Amino acid sequence: MIDGATDLHDKPLTGWASDVSWVAHCANRELFKASALPLHDAIRAASVGALGEFNRIAGPLPEKRWKRPIASMLMAQETADGIEGVDLGDCRIFALGADGASFVAGAHDDAADDESTLAAKQTESDKPLLQRTNTIDMLRRMRDSLNVEGGAWTFSLDAACAAHARAWAFVLARPAHILLMTDGLASLTDRYGAYAPGALVQAALDKGLQELGRELRTIENADQGGAQHPRFKKSDDATGLLIRLT
């Protein structure tokens, strides 16, 4: 699962419609090339390959860190006992075993929630959050604090990100079900509290991901300004992949 971070500059550097689109596609391609490697090594190879491509089409990385393309990333692979994986950023994975045991990995970004709450209280309340000057300034400060020692890490064009990828493993009673998702879909649990993690996996089985998407947008459309659930934009990308292990 790859979820590019929204551009915070007006003109893309890569010649694509957005740098967020470029980094997601480029990371996916480079990971495919490195698919035979251990997961941390695959991330490192993908970062090196993406940097080379960026340098070729856009030149040196911008001095301002908030202009550099980044993405959240989560990878999982099957093991004899269940699954194992690594992640950077805030993509999420929920798993539900046949015995009812549920497991969670991927970071829910509490710091981002705190910043969202502050941003929602800014004075330009007549504008959407991502058009408020104070909100953009805050997001740029947050972006500058990423991918540096002592800060949180995402997939980036700095191969050091690979060493900071979190590793985890689940032992799952089969048949088991696994839901990989961007933070936008995980908001049903992490932000809106509509489901517990295991219940969200079960709901995906019972209702389908399309219905969960409709439920998500219903919640967000009823709170477009973020008064009830403070956030930087009304809706975020919501992508999910439901997997069955037999």
**Contacts with 107 (C-beta within 8 Å, 6 or more apart), sequence order:** 87, 89, 90, 152, 166
**Mean per-residue pLDDT, 36-57:** 98
- pTM (two decimals): 0.89
Average pLDDT over residues 21-30: 98
Q: Write down the domain spans for the chain.
A: 2-245
- Integer angstrom CA distances of residue 189 from 27, 111, 127, 173, 203: 27, 17, 27, 23, 12
Amino acid at 5: A
In this structure, how many other beta carbons lie within 10 angstroms of the beta carbon of residue 164? 18
Confidence of residue 228 (pLDDT cuts 50, 70, 90): confident
The confidence band for 246, taking pLDDT boundaries of 50, 70 and 90, is: very high
Other C-beta atoms within 10 Å of 234: how many?
Answer: 15
Q: In the predicted model, what is the mean pLDDT of residues 216-228?
A: 87
Q: Which residues pair with 87 in a beta bridge?
A: 74, 166
Neighbours of 54 (CB within 10 A): 21
Mean pLDDT of 34-42: 97
pLDDT at position 227: 75
Classify strands 2-4 and 176-181 as parallel, antiparallel or unpaired. Answer: unpaired
48, pLDDT greater than 60 = yes
State which CATH number among 3.30.410, 3.60.40, 3.40.710, 3.90.1480 fits the domain covering 2-245: 3.60.40
The per-residue pLDDT for range 106-164, each reduced to its tens digit, is: 987 555 555 555 555 554 555 555 556 677 888 899 899 999 999 999 999 999 999 99
Lowest mean per-residue pLDDT among 11-15, 34-38, 129-133, 165-169:
129-133
Q: What is the pLDDT of residue 231?
A: 76
Torsion angle, CA of 2/89/205/81, rounded to 10 degrees? 100
- Interhelix angle for 133-144 vs 110-120, to 10°? 160
Q: Under 8 Å CB-to-CB from 78, ≥6 apart: which residues?
A: 245
Q: Are 236 and 183 in contact (CB under 8 A)?
A: yes
pLDDT attached to residue 236: 86
Largest pairwise CA distance in the chain: 54
For the residues 92-96, what does the mean pLDDT come to? 98
Question: For the chain, how big is the Rg over CA atoms in Å?
Answer: 18
CA nearest neighbour of 148 among 42, 75, 66? 66
Q: Tell me the mean pLDDT in the region 89-115.
A: 84
On average, the pLDDT of the chain sits at 91
Q: Looking at residue 196, what is its pLDDT?
A: 97
Percent of the chain surpassing pLDDT 70: 90
